[in-house]
């Protein structure tokens, strides 16, 4: 192995032959850095990490591998509405209701050319947190809003940030890897036009001005919150642009649906934990709670964590298989039929990634034109298709973990660093808190940000993202560089603090 390949062995770099090799090497450098960071984050000199970078492995023999599968539809939404009237209708509707984007309870703000904070931005992301997101296209010209296609994506936002911005967002100033390759917004525009809408323009895909977010972390020098800081610069790629949120989908938008999140889960699960009685923690959800590496309400995090931890408990070092990604594995097509019993296998069309290798990155459910009807007329177990979630219920996701004997001595169990508290009204919903928190003494506002958003129930003021901190959200584009310290309408001091 001489490099990490792009997700799904995509051939986007080949569209620019003169720079294809440089882009391939640069993407490999980014993934390798994530590997090294995960290994460093979850190990100490006394307790070596069991997460390893396969690109740095020079020991003989191939690692063992295991495919880890989970359901595409958000288990959190299924659990939340399971005791309601019409639970399926509500979970399907919630899954397609966009949630306003906020960091630390506040919307992003525009920064004008003079450095003043201006209006809040109305940005959104999907409440689909299993590394599979979808968008429903409807033809509203006939007034009925017939479903013409449903597009599914498991493409990570970091890959698209790389295509648009090159290596610059991924490495700190002074790191020679920062300037390995420049971005190509024209390539991004080309791919959006091909897969989302031919009307996409490059201007639609970038931030139209500098953007600020509110950082409530404490400045160690002053003891005060950092305040308003730069999140993105004018003209850089906007991962929440309309063509991947409100008007279409190209890649994932949920804060937890990132490749960095995959490394967080894999690295965190490589650590073996013990409970209060000194026994190894092996239950998938308890492992997430104890290690604090994900969300116990999801299908993905517990499944991935349990498989990785099982390798680690057997004394094996663990990692992620090349090409690193989270993939749509398959759609179970049994139960689908046309209005007159037509076969529907041809409606499932893979546009990016490999169907044969079960590494699908983009697919759509779209009835072939010659059949003469639309998706909403397709029957699924005798029920008409009204939501993309009905199809997501039949989709399996997958990633591949690898393991190899690299550490001779058994690795000691470590104490838990987190715990879960049950929701006061929705008992099966849990939330991860720091170890030692009293679940009984949690104030009601501790749960205010957890409830899903429905069209008739807008997001409450001060909403934050589920199980996702400001530092992680800002690192989605790695843009938080400098400070905008002023309140609205007051001149700001720019660039006075380094980004995280």
**Is the entire prediction scored with pTM above 0.85?**
yes
In this predicted structure, what is the pLDDT of residue 141? 76
Domain for residue 220, yes or no?
no
Burial of 491 (0-12, 13-18, 19+ CB in 10 A): exposed
User: Which token pair is 418?
Assistant: 């987190």
Percent of the chain with pLDDT over 70: 90
Q: Compute the residue count for the chain.
A: 500
User: pLDDT tens-digit profile of 153-162?
Assistant: 999 999 999 9
Is residue 81 assigned to a domain? Answer: yes
Does 19 reside within a domain?
A: yes
Per DSSP, 182 falls in state B
Q: Is residue 181 part of a domain?
A: yes
Q: Which domain holds residue 16?
A: 7-110+118-202+242-285+297-414
What mean pLDDT is reported for the chain?
89
Whether residue 479 is contained in a domain is answered as no
For the chain, what is the domain count?
A: 1
CA 448 – CA 8 distance, rounded (Å): 38
Q: Which helix (H) or strand (E) holds 414?
A: strand 414-415
Distance CA 286, CA 69 (A): 19
Residue 383 lies in a domain: yes
Residue 483 has a pLDDT of 44
Residue 456 lies in a domain: no
Lowest mean pLDDT, pick from 77-81, 384-388, 458-462 = 458-462
Q: What was the pLDDT predicted at 9? A: 97
pLDDT above 80: residue 92: yes
H/E segment holding residue 105: none
pLDDT digits (tens, 9 = 90+) for 423-439: 988 989 999 999 989 99
Give a yes or no: residue 500 inside a domain. Answer: no
């Amino acid at each position: 192995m001489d490099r990490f390949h792009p997700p799904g062995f995509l051939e986007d770099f080949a569209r620019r032959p003169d720079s294809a090799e440089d882009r391939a090497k640069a993407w490999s450098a980014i993934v390798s850095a994530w590997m090294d960071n995960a290994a460093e984050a979850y190990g100490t000199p006394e307790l070596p990490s069991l997460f390893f970078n396969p690109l740095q492995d020079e020991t003989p023999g191939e690692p063992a591998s295991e495919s880890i599968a989970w359901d595409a539809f958000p288990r959190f939404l299924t659990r939340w509405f399971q005791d309601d009237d019409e639970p399926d209708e509500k979970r399907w509707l919630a899954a397609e209701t966009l949630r306003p984007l906020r960091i630390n309870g506040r919307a992003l703000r525009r920064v004008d050319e003079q450095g003043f904070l201006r209006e809040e931005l109305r940005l959104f992301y999907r409440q689909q947190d299993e590394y599979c997101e979808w968008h429903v296209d409807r033809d509203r010209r006939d007034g009925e809003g017939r479903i013409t296609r449903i597009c599914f994506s498991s493409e990570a936002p970091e890959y698209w940030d790389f295509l648009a911005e090159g290596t610059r967002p991924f490495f700190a100033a002074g790191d020679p890897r920062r300037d390995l390759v420049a971005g190509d917004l024209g390539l991004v525009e080309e791919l959006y036009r091909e897969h989302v809408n031919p009307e996409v323009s490059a201007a639609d895909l970038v931030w139209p001005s500098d953007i600020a977010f509110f950082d409530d972390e404490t400045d160690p020098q002053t003891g005060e919150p950092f305040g308003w800081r730069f999140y993105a610069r004018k003209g850089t790629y906007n991962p929440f642009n309309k063509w991947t949120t409100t008007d279409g989908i190209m890649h994932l938008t949920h804060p937890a649906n990132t490749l960095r999140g995959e490394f967080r889960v894999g690295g965190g699960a490589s650590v073996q934990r013990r409970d209060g009685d000194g026994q190894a923690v092996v239950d998938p959800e308890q492992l997430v709670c104890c290690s604090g590496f994900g969300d116990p309400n999801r299908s993905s995090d517990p499944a991935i964590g349990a498989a990785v931890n099982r390798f680690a408990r057997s004394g094996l070092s663990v990692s992620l298989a090349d090409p690193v990604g989270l993939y749509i594995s398959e759609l179970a097509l049994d139960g689908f039929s046309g209005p007159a019993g037509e076969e529907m296998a041809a409606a499932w069309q893979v546009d990016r990634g490999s169907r044969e290798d079960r590494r699908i990155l983009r697919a759509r459910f779209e009835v072939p034109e010659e059949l003469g009807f639309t998706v909403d007329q397709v029957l699924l177990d005798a029920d008409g298709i009204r939501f993309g979630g009905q199809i997501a219920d039949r989709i399996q996701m997958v990633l591949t973990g690898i393991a190899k004997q690299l550490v001779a001595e058994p690795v000691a169990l470590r104490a838990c660093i987190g715990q879960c508290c049950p929701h006061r009204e929705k008992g099966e919903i849990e939330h991860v808190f720091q170890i030692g928190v009293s679940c009984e003494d949690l104030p009601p506002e501790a749960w205010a940000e957890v409830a899903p958003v429905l069209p008739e129930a807008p997001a409450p003021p001060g909403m934050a993202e589920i199980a996702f901190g400001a530092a992680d959200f800002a690192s989605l584009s790695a843009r938080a560089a400098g400070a905008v310290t002023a309140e609205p309408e007051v001149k700001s001091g720019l660039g006075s603090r380094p980004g995280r």
